[in-house]
Each structure stands twice: as C-alpha cells, then as structure tokens.
Amino acid sequence: MRFLTKNGIVRNLSIGCASMLMGLVVIGFTGPFIAAGDSFALFRPLAGVLLIPCAVVLLCLRARYFALSSTAVAIIAIGSIATSYAAPSEDCKGTCLTLYQKNLMSKAWPRYSLADDILESNAQIVTLQEVSSHNRQYMGNMFEHYPAKTICEFRPEQNVAILTTLPIVENSEFCLKGYGLVGVQVKAPGGGPIWVVSVHLNWPFPYKQSKQSQVIADRIKKLEGPVLIAGDFNMVPWGESVQRIAAAADNQSFGTILNTHNRGSWQVPLPIDNLLFPKGTTGTVELRPFMGSDHLGKLARIRIE
C-alpha cells in the first residue's frame, strides 16, 4: 500500500510537470494572436527537450495518454525550431557578399578592437544597432573607412545604421524614425540591386515589440527585389516577430541557432541577433567575439541564388 501511494505521487507529479511544459509550448505558439505569446516562445526548446524524459517516465508509470501527448508536443516544439532557419549549406563559391552584423552597445568600452575586427573582415556591408556618439568617436577609423553610411534615429544614442563599400542606388535610402529600421538598396558585386535592412526591435511583451515588428514588416513588403535583413531582434528566430518580418520579404533565418547575448546560456540560449536572407542563399556564418558589447557579432559570407 505504501509503494502504491508513493507510485501515485510520482505519477501525479510527472503528469503535472508534463502538463506545465506542454502548456508552456502551446502558449509560445500564440504570438500571432497574443503579444505575450512571443515572450513564452523563448522557452520552447527547453520545454520540448524536457518533455522527452517526462514521456519516458510517464510511459513507465503506465500513463500512456500523457506519455503520447508529451512526445507529440515535444516533436512539434523541436520541429518548429528546426524549420525556422536554414543552416549554412556550403562555403560561398564564386562571387560572394560579406556582411557583418553587430549591436555595438551604445556606451561599451573598449571600441578599438571591435572596429579593427570589422575592418579586417573586409565586410562589404555592415549592419549596426545602438550607434551612439560615443562609439562613433572611438570607432572613427571604421566609420571613415566606409564611404556610404545610412543612419536612422531610434532611441536616444541608440541609432540603427548601414555602412557599405558597395555603390548605392540613388535615392533608395529610407528610415522609419523611432521604429528601429533603416534600409538602402545597393548594387551587389556580379549581380543586380539588393536591399539591405538593419533592424533593432524592442523587448517583447510587456514592451511594444509586436506592434513595432508589424510596422517594420509592412514597410519591408513594399520593397521590390531581394532583401538582406540583419539586426538585434530581441527575439528568437522561431518567435512571431522575427517570422513576421522574414515573411514580409519571403526570407528565412540563416545560420545556426547559437546564443548571441551575454545573458544567455546553454540551458536558455538567447539567439536574438538574426540574419534573414532570401531562401536558397548559400554560404557560411561565424560568430565574432563580444569585444566590449553585450552581443556577439555575426559575419556572413553568402551567395544569393
């Protein structure tokens, strides 16, 4: 009788744990309808992985219905993450385009090593967030190196920018002041014109990321031709805000899902610095060190098919 009582307690605890994890996954899918849903999407991979041992325990305890439900939700959770991005397929061959993405952190120090790293990468396009008078002063050699600069006001001392060595299509620059969006059309080497967009989203609910991402998506929908989107999204690639912006350009997240923020960890990674490139893009992406910022950089060498 004592064994049965203990067994029943373990069974109930396992069912409760599995139900909580399944609820967390389900709420994380409500982002398209409820802004708060995107805040829970962050925990989707952790909840999906934890549901697997829960399902094994429940099966051993003969709670077959909950074991099956846990397995199904785990597959959906992990599967949705796997299909939300395109892993780099091969080294860039032929005429390649190099893009360096970085949130500078407006008051970070030191600045010199980061400026040198961007210059040494030979990036033809640099997308930046949190551009301030501080880092413009201490990264002057980098800003002077790029002949074309498009900068747009976002928050005080946290502007978004695009630097490039490529020719700019005349009168193509645009800026959504206060919305963290700047864009310009450039002439790609060996190809036609392409749009480049730098994005900086606010934090998700209770902040206004959902509304901001919709305004940005509406603007991107108006662009004709291929679009390269890069930035600090403050949201994981499978979150609705990122997916909404990617869909506006018919793009897909590019690069492996790795933590890019210093507050993330292997248990709860924060892959919030994202590259959204046209489907079929090939090439590679490497993470660059923090170098004074709280965000890692991303260096992409790509070929747009």
How many Cβ atoms from other residues are within 10 Å of residue 93's Cβ?
A: 9
**pLDDT of 1:** 44
- The enclosing domain of 195 has a CATH number of 3.60.10.10
CB 93 within 8 A of CB 118: no
Same domain, 66 and 115: no
Alpha carbons 41 and 239: distance in angstroms, whole number: 6
Same domain, 191 and 100: yes
pTM higher than 0.75 for the full model?
yes
How many Cβ atoms from other residues are within 10 Å of residue 109's Cβ?
A: 10
Core vs surface per residue 31-62: b (16+ CB within 10 A) or e: beeebebbbbbbbbbbbbebbeebbebbeebe
Give the 3-state secondary structure of residue 102. Answer: strand
Same domain, 114 and 9: no
**pLDDT of 275:** 96
Task: Single out the residue in 61, 82, 103 at which a domain terminates.
Answer: 82
- Report the chain's C-alpha Rg in angstroms: 22
Alpha carbons 164 and 147: distance in angstroms, whole number: 7
State how far the alpha carbon of 260 is from the alpha carbons of 23, 42, 117, 148, in Å.
27, 14, 17, 27
Number of domains in the chain: 2
Q: CA 117: distance to chain centroid?
A: 22
Same domain, 132 and 17: no
CB 87 within 8 A of CB 253: no
Task: Single out the residue in 48, 82, 116 at which a domain terminates.
Answer: 82
Alpha carbons 85 and 106: distance in angstroms, whole number: 29
Which residues, at least 6 apart from 30, have a Cβ–Cβ distance to it below 8 Å?
36, 37, 40
Same domain, 97 and 54: no
Same domain, 50 and 98: no
**pLDDT of 274:** 96
Tokens of 287: 């993470």
Range of the domain at 18: 2-82
Q: In order along the chain (305 residues), what is the average pLDDT of each group of 10 residues?
A: 61 89 93 89 90 91 90 92 67 83 87 93 97 91 95 95 97 97 94 94 93 98 97 95 96 86 82 94 92 94 87
Task: Single out the residue in 82, 107, 135 at which a domain terminates.
Answer: 82
Taking Cα atoms as reference points, which of 122, 124, 170, 129 lies closest to residue 152?
129
**pLDDT of 8:** 76
